[in-house]
Amino acid sequence: MGKIVEPAWPAGVEPVEAFAERMLARGDELYRALPWRHIDDPYAVLVSEIMLQQTQVARVGRFWERFLAAFPTVDALAAAAVPDVLELWQGLGYNRRALALKRTADQCAAEGEGRLPDTYEGLLALPGIGPATAAGVMAFAHQVPGVYVETNVRAVFLHELFPDRDGVSDRELAPTVAAAALCGPAAADPRRWYYGLLDYGAHLKATGVNPTRRSASYSRQSAFEGSRRQKRAWIVRRVLAAPEGSEAPCVLAELSAAEAGAGRPAVDEALFASIVDDLVAEGFFRREGALLIP
């Protein structure tokens, strides 16, 4: 969906303007006052959008405020050391997001005079920023309408316009989202439009309705405990806790002991080596012989 999406409205449903008016009213009823709303700083909006990926809203607030207090600007984040960035990210999970955000700041500090691009296409060219994130920044920071297909937005459109369909793809949803976003009532205030959809989608899920299960992109997240993701997170925390570096065999032994304490088998050396290789390649830390260094 990085390509231009041609708006198209489904046949047999209410007119797009009527739908938009009804969704705006529903969104106003369900509005949530969140700290990253109604701000014009694209960087602060981007941080919130990245943090909200795969993380519940209730958990993000304190992380967002703490992160921006430490790194209030693109230049401040670019100047920060990777271990310091990852330390403030601990508890949010999916640490790759923090690295991508840091790389974005590095690129903007070097090429953009410390500012994020102010176009959708420019944002898409940055590390870790996909179509939904770019559209979110444009809508929330710049009041520019676009195709923002986020999980709660997806839930609303599936619930309202595709109530009897399974396996609906984002490719099919995107033209409908575009048609609604670009119609008069929604385009007049993109922030209000998408805030309302996000809050309505969250309401649907909170009341036991989860239309996203009927999306072609839906997949149930696997258990964290005992997974490769859990072991990755443990290794990152352990290595970052020792600025002078840690011997890889010691890290493996401690990880195996932690797994045994949780009633799980010791970690295989090949699995450990594979995870460490990935983390080094992704930039979480470096390796000098057997030493893992933040």
Predicted confidence (pLDDT) per residue in 119-158, tens digit: 999 999 999 899 999 999 999 999 999 999 999 999 999 9
Catalytic: which of 14, 49, 259, 288? 49
Residue 99 and residue 87 in contact, taking contact as beta carbons nearer than 8 Å = no
pTM score, two decimals? 0.85
State the average pLDDT for the chain.
93
Q: Which residues contact 232 (CB under 8 A, 6 or more apart)?
A: 95, 275, 278, 279
Q: Which residue has the tokens 């997170």?
A: 233
Write down the pLDDT at residue 93: 86
Distance, in Å, from the CA atom of 284 to the CA atom of 170, rounded to the nearest integer, reads: 32
Distance, in Å, from the CA atom of 130 to the CA atom of 264, rounded to the nearest integer, reads: 37
Burial-class residue 94 by CB neighbours within 10 Å (0-12, 13-18, 19+): middle
Does an H or E element contain 292, and which? strand 291-293
Q: Which pLDDT tens digit goes with each residue over 222-265?
A: 677 888 988 998 998 899 889 899 999 999 999 999 999 989 99
Distances (CA, A) of 261 to 225, 256, 264, 281: 13, 9, 7, 29
121 is catalytic: no
Phi/psi for 288 (5° steps) reads -125, 100
